[in-house]
Amino acid sequence: MKLSDVSLDNVRDFCGISSDTNDDMVQLIADGAKHFILSQTGLDEAAADEHDDLTLAFMTLVNEMYTNRTYTVDTQNINPFADAIIGQYRTNRL
């Protein structure tokens, strides 16, 4: 599944959210996670769509941000799965 094809229903299913009462919050988190991935990789949306595993990183980030209301507290707690996937596609290395 391409990143651009992910719907709010897909996000809710992945995160185990059975109600639509938090849709505004879920959408805000999803938008933030997508922006984070694009800014970290330097890819535009079309280029990101070429990498299906970025969708898994996106869903993982959304779930973590929804559950914990944070991406990370410090660099020791970054989700290694999402970080490894994002790291593969970084084009803006310093």
Please state, in angstroms and rounded to a whole number, the distance separating the CA atoms of residues 30 and 8: 8
Do 33 and 62 form a contact (C-beta atoms < 8 A)? yes
Span between the terminal Cα atoms of the chain, in Å: 30
pLDDT number for residue 65 = 87
CA 82 vs CA 21, 24, 37, 54, 60: distances in Å: 27, 23, 9, 8, 7
In this structure, how many other beta carbons lie within 10 angstroms of the beta carbon of residue 67? Answer: 11
Residue 15 has pLDDT above 90, yes or no: yes
pLDDT number for residue 72 = 53
Mean pLDDT of the 16-24 span:
89
Domain ranges of the chain: 21-88
pLDDT digits (tens, 9 = 90+) for 54-72: 999 999 999 988 888 755 5
